[in-house]
Each structure stands twice: as C-alpha cells, then as structure tokens.
Structure 1
Amino acid sequence: MVTIQNQSIPVIVDTDGGVDDALALIMALNSPQLDLQAITVVAGNINVDQAANNVLRVVSIVQADTLPIVAKGCEKPLVKPPFNAAGIHGADGLGELDQFKEADGTPRYPHLTIAPSTEDAIALILKTAQKYGDRLTIIALGPLTNLATAIQKDSTTMKTIGQIIIMGGAVTVPGNISAAAEFNFFVDPDAAQVVMESGIPLTLVGLDVAMKAPLPRQMVEENLQQRPSKITQFILDCTGIYMAFYRDNEGFYGCYLHDPLAMAVAIDASLVKTESLHIVVETEGRFTTGMSLADRRDRRDEKTNPPNVEACLDVDTERFFKLFNQLV
C-alpha cells in the first residue's frame, strides 16, 4: 500500500481525451491528495468535441463524489494543422466503445446524459489561477495549446501558479511519433515552446520515464477477474485497440502509461529523479519538428540559458505501479 497524504492540492487536468488520459483521470478522480478543480480539454489524440465526450465518459464511470467542471478549449494547434492519433487510440479516441454490448444486447456504454460546461477552458484556467495562485498545479496530458493560449492572453496570471507537470518530450531517448519528437510536442510544437519560455515552474514527464512503465495486457485482464467493477471493465475495453497497436508494431502486448505517470508525479514527486535543464522545442525543423532539445553539455552556459525545466529521467517503476493499482 502506497501512503498518500491527506492534504489535497488544487489541480487542473488539461487533456486530449485518449486512452492513457482516461487512466490518468481515473487516478485523479480517486486520489485524496488531488483536489480536482477542473478538466480542460484540447484537440490532440482526437478532436476537442470527442475528447470532451471521452472525459465525461470517464467521469460518469468513476462516479466521484464531487464532479469537476469539464470545459472545452482549443480546436487546433497554434500554427500547425490538426494531427490526431485515432489510428492508435481508436476512431473515438477511447478504444471504440460503441462495439461493446451487454449480455442482453444493450450498449455497455450508452449515450451520455451529461454535457461539458459552456465556459471556455482558457477563461477557466485563468480564473482558477487567479483563485489559487502558487497553490495550483496544472497537469498537462495533451498538446500544450490551451496553456500556451492562456499564457499569451494573460502571462502575469499564469506566472503566479505553482507548477505545470507536462507529459511530453523526450530528452535522452528517441521520439514516438517521429525519430525526434514525442506526440504531444509534435502536434503543437509552437505551444510547447511558448510554455518552455514562460518562466512558470515546469516538470517534464517525457518518454525517458514513460517508456519504463509498461502495462501488460495480462495484468489488465487479471485485474478485471480479481476486482470486477465498472472501472476495471472499462479499462479492459478502452485499452484493447491501444494495446493491440503496441502488440502489432512493437511486439509488446500492452501499453505504456504516459499520462498516468504524469498524474503520479503530481501525487508523489519522489517517484522520479529529475535533472534541471534548459530545454527548447524545435518548431520549424524539416525532420525535427517537435523535438525537445535539452542542453546537457558539460560547458553549458547557465547564465545565458538557465534551466527552465525539471526533466524526469528515472522512475521507481515498482512504487509507481503500486500507486497506479491503488487508484484504479
């Protein structure tokens, strides 16, 4: 059993509504340490409307005591055309849930009766930042378009927040959408660079640590057998297409817990080891768009380019999985 402190941290989760986002949201909704103020939604894995629907699906399944506000934000990246991951996460971004039926033939995941807030995600981010200041943590699980837009609109307010924990980037390992770039930074490199140079305290949970947290299909199946519930059934269902992608393309029947690891760092930062680095994001490279370039030279000039990111480079995988299993 992982010990979780009782003191709750006000958080916003900014998400693009994919499969690993859903697992991270389950953790957030079940974590006593996180006071989930709002879930803001951005285009990335899937379009923003479907992403918002996916978030509401997770919220309805978890049935938390207090429902967070769910608000839609940016429909496309700052500069680049939209790019999604439907081929990995399923056409609906959540494992194509329409395919699942109960024994009597009724849909296992019927049409939702709840809808997102009419409030704009950017306005909600800024309002929450004004309310909580340096107590607020934002956990960014998708492209950084919403956060960059908030910074461009009111950088003074955004600079008052405590920190942004970002699932994105790759410091010492290859990318996953190209040889150079991780998916979230590739989708909106311009937004990522706006956030990198914002002056806000940043923690980067990139592929360096995310690839050290593989979740085998067998573990998901066993979890459903041992702890049958709506949540464990949903996890088995929504991860099917996602895990099949890794099976067919990488020979590993399972998936990597990118977003849940970022959520875990918000709950317990001691799970990871970090290095203070100056990181920029390539926005115009022919082959390197979205690359997170860290200055790791022995002779780097920290006066000219001071560290702007705490980059996670190692993780206690065993402790992370204990926390993950406790919360899902």
Structure 2
Amino acid sequence: MIDIVQPAHGPLVAKGCEKPLVRPPFNAAGIHGSDGLGELFQFKHADGSPRYSQLTVEPSSEDAIEVLLQAAQAYGNDLTIVALGPLTNIATALQRDRATLQQVGRIVIMGGAVKVPGNISAAAEFNFFVDPDAAQVVMESGIPLTLVGLDVAMRAPLPRQVVEANLQQRPSKITQFIVDCTGIYMAFYRDNEGFHGCYLHDPLAVAVAIDPSLVKTESLYMMVETEGRFTTGMSLADRRDRRDEKTNPPNVEACLEVDTERFLKLFNQLI
C-alpha cells in the first residue's frame, strides 16, 4: 500500500501480539486470503513481473504495545485509537500500564453486534470472537469507547460492479488495488450470501473517527461473553428499560444507525 499511496512520510509499523490473551490463534484466511489482502502475490503485469512489490517497511524496534503507550503519553486526550481487529494489543497495553493508556481520548472499535446476529457465530462478531477476553478487558477499561459493530457495518455495502466501474472510469494504482484486494472477500459474500460485493466494516470505523455525525449512537453498558458454550464473543448490551446505571454505568457509545449515503460519499472522496 505504501508504494500505491506514496505518503510523504512512511507509517510507523510495530509488531503486535502473536495470539489472543488466553486462546489459540484464529484467522479469516478463507475470507480475506492467506495474506489478509486478497492474496496480492497472484497478480502479475503483462511481462510476468509482480504487480505488487514485497513489503519493505521495517517494523519498529519496539513492540506495538510500547508504541501505543508512548502515543498515549505523548498525545493524551487528543489521541483517538481506531481498532480494526481483535483487541489483544489494546488489552495487553492496559495490563502493562493501565494509567497511561487511560489518558487517550477515545477508542473507536470495529467489533461487536448489539441488535443483530453475529457473523462468525450466531452470537458473535469475528473480532470479539477471536479474543473475547481482550474485548472484555477493554470494556472494563474506563476509556471512552465507540462501538462500530455489525448493526451499522452491514448497512455499508460495496457492490463488485461499483468497484470495477471505478477502475474503468478512474484507472489508477489505487482503484486497481481495490479491485484486486477485494476479489476473494467479495467472492465469499457472492458464494455464501448471494451478494457479489462486500461490506465496509473497517472503512466505516475510520469514517466514524473522522466524522462522528455519520452515526447515531446509544450509551450502553456492555459485557463480552468469555465462557459461553455457544455464545463466546457475544457482545451483550444491557438495553433493558430498568437497567441499573448506578451499578453498571454505560461504558460504550454503540452505533445503531448510519447515514449510508453520506458515508459512501466520504469513502469515494477519500479514495
């Protein structure tokens, strides 16, 4: 992606945790490809050379946990963390130095589901299912949390025909990359749900960090199931009329509605 976007300053990359807090590793290679980016190694130029170069960015000498803590100390309340995967790194940072990480302004989390079913099980969204123990640690952190879960993520569809049309109308390295990296992902939805496209889970979380007015939220107390036989990873929000907010005060702002049209407009502008 660095070769494609060519930012003025390269991003800081750091190595995070290799496995969940207490559970064995689990990934989505069958949905996103073995490299997590639609198996970019398969794409070639006409002369047979790779369309995408090998990653050359060297990771930081410090691990991702230390990078998070240093950023929290440096930027404090001005820092918004956007978490797009399982919450293992953030939970580990809390365990290493809770007071420092609690200085951040907000964590925007792509994960969970409040009023809709899960997507990896009947109860659980994928990121929370992979490391429910970490998700619960973050729920208990006291840090302001915005949950961009399946309630809104599944309302942000990107059809395959739109992606391919963008490439034809605006050919560039970026539009070509989007076509290539989404191929396996979109085929999964085509084969399993009859929708040849995908849902913009992670871009929506980033968009909410940029413009919170894209969504309507509800303040809720949420727990994540860590021991259920059938419900591991379930994000259980207390939505009762008689919920006890003194004992269990709201700990998340859960996104329950999204202005899809305005979000997709922003998405198209940024790409």
Look up the match of 2:270. Answer: 327
Look up the match of 1:14. Answer: none
State how far apart, in whole Å, the 1-side matches of 2:162 and 2:243 are. Answer: 44
State how far apart, in whole Å, the 2-side matches of 1:174 and 1:96 are. Answer: 29
Q: Residue 99 of structure 2 is aligned with which of 156, 163, 167?
A: 156
Report matched runs for 1:158-307 at 5 Å. 158-307=101-250
Whether the 8 Å contact between 2:13 and 2:57 is mirrored in structure 1 is no
State how far apart, in whole Å, the 1-side matches of 2:270 and 2:59 are. Answer: 25
Are positions 1:79 and 2:22 aligned together?
Answer: yes
- Any idea what SS the aligned residue of 1:79 has? coil
Runs of 4 or more, structure 1, over 4 Å off, are none
Look up the match of 2:49. Answer: 106
Are positions 1:316 and 2:259 aligned together?
Answer: yes
Deviation at 1:109, TM superposition (A): 1.0
Deviation at 1:61, TM superposition (A): 1.7
What letter matches 2:7 in structure 1?
A: A
Q: Deviations over 1:217-269 (max 9, x none)?
A: 00100111111111110000000000000000000000000000000001000
Are positions 1:120 and 2:55 aligned together?
Answer: no
Runs of at least 5 residues in structure 1 that lack an aligned partner in the other structure: 1-57
- Any idea what SS the aligned residue of 1:178 has? coil
Look up the match of 1:146. Answer: 89
Q: Deviations over 1:58-101 (max 9, x none)?
A: 23321111222011110000011100000000121111111111
What letter matches 1:289 in structure 2?
A: T
Q: Deviations over 1:7-49 (max 9, x none)?
A: xxxxxxxxxxxxxxxxxxxxxxxxxxxxxxxxxxxxxxxxxxx
**RMSD of aligned C-alpha atoms?**
0.7
State how far apart, in whole Å, the 2-side matches of 1:284 and 1:232 are. Answer: 43
Runs of at least 5 residues in structure 2 that lack an aligned partner in the other structure: none
Task: Name the TM-score, length of structure 1 as normaliser.
Answer: 0.82
- Any idea what SS the aligned residue of 1:249 has? helix
Task: Give the number of equivalent residue pairs.
Answer: 271
Deviation at 1:117, TM superposition (A): 1.9
Identity percentage of aligned residues: 81
State how far apart, in whole Å, the 1-side matches of 2:71 and 2:56 are. Answer: 26
Task: Name the TM-score, length of structure 2 as normaliser.
Answer: 0.99
State how far apart, in whole Å, the 2-side matches of 1:132 and 1:60 are. Answer: 28
Look up the match of 1:93. Answer: 36
What letter matches 1:183 in structure 2?
A: F
Look up the match of 1:130. Answer: 73
